[in-house]
Amino acid sequence: MSSTKTPKPRIVYQEFGNSDPVEATQRPSEELPANQHKLKVEASRKGRKGKTVTVVSGFQVSPETLQTLLKQLKAQCGAGGTIKDNEIEIQGDHKQKLVEILTNLGYKVKSSGG
């Protein structure tokens, strides 16, 4: 006779807390409206082998909102980009263009660097 029961995952060691790791890894993020952000836009070449990248930092939004904003900024600049450490990086020097776009979207933006 074979049993069709699925085996329960065997926990070898558990110090404390819930055995469901999903709850522990999800952080509640407080999403601020656009006019309460203090964003900083700067062009950077550090650690990028001489390539210029425009970095927008200071966001306090959910990853989904950041992803949609990244897609919009990439399309308007005509360049590639990514999200790293809750910052948006756009390839190339698009500092002035990003300041204008983000200001029109309602964000408080400061240009940093030379």
Phi then psi for 43, rounded to 5 degrees? -95, 135
Tokens of 54: 């425009």
Yes or no: domain 29-112 corresponds to CATH 3.10.129.10: no
pTM of the model: 0.70
Burial class (CB in 10 A: 0-12, 13-18, 19+), 56: buried
Per the document, the length of the chain is 114
Q: Angle of helix 63-77 relative to helix 95-104, nearest 10 degrees?
A: 120
Each residue's pLDDT, cut to its tens digit, for the chain (114 residues) gives: 555 677 777 777 777 766 555 555 555 556 777 778 899 999 998 888 889 999 999 988 888 999 999 999 999 999 999 999 999 999 999 999 999 999 999 999 999 886
107 C-beta neighbours (distance < 10 Å), count: 21
